[in-house]
Every structure is written in structure tokens, then in C-alpha cells.
Structure 1
């Protein structure tokens, strides 16, 4: 087997994972106006546990689920809860493509968090990339046209919370396994959702419940594929595939809601994409220079 095979598989699996996660986002968009956000949270997390538990069992059991840092997983679960509820509420007021474009501001928040939590140097290149990314976000928002809407702040909060969760995972990656991150974070979100759901309960039809099942399964499978992709290939190599979610979002908008991406959304997404790719490239270059030293 050639040395490039793991990278090729990693890229393919990451693309597949993003496809499943995008389907999950589409299902959320379908039901976000029919049931409460805590209900969406619970069913996405609960049904998402099913494929995660099956895969962990197939991959060798639950030994890797043991954790030395329960507080870390509680914090990541809380971040997941607040981010997911914000995402669900935000989608009520904006298209899937616009929402996903704003969520991709996460790498810029990660640069800021890395400075304080990982003591990483933030040089001119990263600052320039962050500025470019901010410009991309402003283009998508179109503040001069009054298109910001009530959903945009929720999506920017999602980006900030997701970025913090990812930096915490990087900080403690050596002491925790992918299995522990997956099971405890998703399990914690399920528990929080179960506690919140009775206070916001809305009656559900069988059709909505089926969509919730599909949403959770897609989320669980997609999450596993993304973790597996990072295991097979360097993060800086496979992470750009996450931006294919923008394509899926635009496709689903067109197929199910007959919405076409505006020029500002396309331009802003391209700017955000370029900024994120540049940050990833600089991170990879920085790691390679560190190995040489």
C-alpha cells in the first residue's frame, strides 16, 4: 500500500463525514420551527449515541472511554449544548448556506483562544488571516443592506463556542482519546437535553420523530467519520474538506426551500474559505518548522 493511501482515505472519509453532518443540519432546518430547541438537542444527541456506541464496540471495546478529566468533558458538553441550541434557533431566521458560512468563523476564534490557552504565538500572518476572515463575515452579513437578521448573532456564538471546544480538545489530546471525547461530550449533551426538554416540550408527530432519528444517526456517523479522518491523516490536510459543507448547504437550500445563494454569500464564503485555508497552511508550516528544530 502506498504511503499516500492513508491521506487519500482520510480526505475521502472527512468529505463523507461532512456530508452526513450537512444532512443533519438540513434535518434540523426542517424541524426547527416545529419543536423546541431543547427537544432537537436531546434527540440529536440521544440518537447520535447509537452509531457512536456501535462503532466503539466494533473498534475494540470501551477501555478508551475512561477519562482523567471529567471537568473537561462537562465544559465541552455545556459548550456543545449552548452552541447546538444557538444553531437551531439561528436557522429559524436564515438560510442554511448563510448560517453555515457564519459558523466557519470558528478558526478565527480558535486563533484567539490558542494565544491564551495554548500559549501559541499569534504573528502577522495569523492576524492578517483573521482580518480577512472578519471581512468575509461582514460580506455575508451585508450590514449596509440590513440583512443581518436575528439569526446571525446566534451563528457567530456557535462559531465562538465550537472554536473553544476544539482548542480544549487540542490542549488535552494527549491524555484523552477520540472515544472519550465522543462518548462523554455526546452523552453529556443528551443528559442536559433530557433535563431541559420537559420545560420546553412541544407535541411531536411521527414524521417529526422520524426526522429526529435520521438527524441523530447522521450526526453520530458524521462525527465518527470526522474523528477517524483526523486519525488517518494530519488535521491540516483534511480540515479544508469541512468547507464542502457550504456546498451542501447551498444545495439543500435550493432542493428543499428553493433558495439560491446571494452573490454576497458566495463572495463572503470564498473569503472565509481562503482565510481558513491560510490559517491551516500556516499551522502546518509552523509544525514542520518545529520538527526541524
Structure 2
């Protein structure tokens, strides 16, 4: 499964530009410069223009507007953490006014002032208004070829940018343990009560361990899958003794106890 790109504000906190007070929401920056927003209000950025004007007031070099923190979400973990350069061209009404040399200098100078504190994505993103996006894409792609940035310069609308850079908290949880495999293992015990107890106890301990590690989602998936599988076994098989069903019902009760602990933990965090 391809990993999703998510914004990662924590990446910015250690950067020197942020520590000097040049952090702001990307949406606020857009409203300040272009009187229009639309970006996810949770995305924090480094205000490169303001930083450059402060430290080099007489400099003729221009920067990209902002740098945001991003990472790839794989198996619920953030990997490949890096900065992403973003240039707002929302005020442009004519794509012909886009100059390749300007984009090239902005990208180069932004990378220079950001330094090597944090890795920087090799691609640059330019945001245009909806009305000229098709012309802008064609123009920027042509300029990218001419300036040695093939497949490195990307033109997007605000909506397209929001669909690319996602909020990790709103993405569905990807289980570490496949529920199908959990269910298959428990059901493979058939009506062998000793095997049922052994396998179920293993998954019960796994669920508890995930609660201890504050991974409530994983604990809930294991518990709910195990409860359903054990109920299916009770319905399918006729056990020789009532005690066997009691053992299974006790296991189900134990899983429900872990679910209760997980729910309490969720309310706390």
C-alpha cells in the first residue's frame, strides 16, 4: 500500500528559523499576502519571505513563501521526515508571467537559507488559483524541463494541495496485526478447548501490551476480532461439557475488560 503524505508540524520546532519567531500557519500567510485562504488551518509553516527580509534587508535574492514539515505515514508511523517548499502564486492572473529563472532562484536560495538542519524534499510546489491552473501546469512543466527541474516543479490549486498533504489524525488506522489472520488462528482451534485457551490467551496478552504502549486502536481491533471469533466458535460447536463454554465466555469477558481499559485510556489522551 502506498504511503500517504501528511503534514508534520513537529519537524519545524527544532529549526533555527522557527526558533527565531518565523513560524506561522500556512493559511494565515496566504490570507496576509493574498486575502484568501483555504489551506488546512492546522498546517504550520516557516515564513521564509519575512525571515529573509529580516536577516538580509538589502538582499536581492527572493525565497519561496514557506516551508512546511511533512512525512510519509506507513503502518501508522511517520517516516522520511522533511521540509517541503511552497510558493503561493494565488495572485497570478496570467500564467505567461511565470519566469523559470525566478522559480529556479527562489528554490535555490530557499534551500540555502534553510541549510542542512532538516532534509528538504527535492520537489517544489506552486499554488495557483483555479481559473488559471491548467495554463499554469503547462507553463511550469515547460519551464521545469528548460531549467533542469523535470518532475520536480508541481502546480496545484489550494484544493489539490489539501488533497495531497493530509492530516494524519483523519486517516483510517492501519492494523499492525491483520484481523483476518487473528480470526483464522482462533477459529482453526475448532472445538479443542485447550487450543482455544492457548491461542486466545496469547492474543489477550497482545491486546494488553498495546494498551500499555498507548496503542488503543490496535488493542481494540484485537479484542473485537477475538470476541467475534470466540462467539462464532460457541455457535458452531457443541462442547461435551458446559465448563468448556464457560472457559470461552471467561475469555470473552477478559477481552471486554481490555476494551474497557482501552476506552478509558482513549478518554484520557
- Structure with the larger strand share: 2
TM-score, normalised via structure 1 length: 0.25
Bigger-Rg structure (1/2)? 2
TM-score, normalised via structure 2 length: 0.26
- Structure with the larger helix share: 1
Q: Which has the higher contact order (CA 8 A, sep 6+)?
A: 1
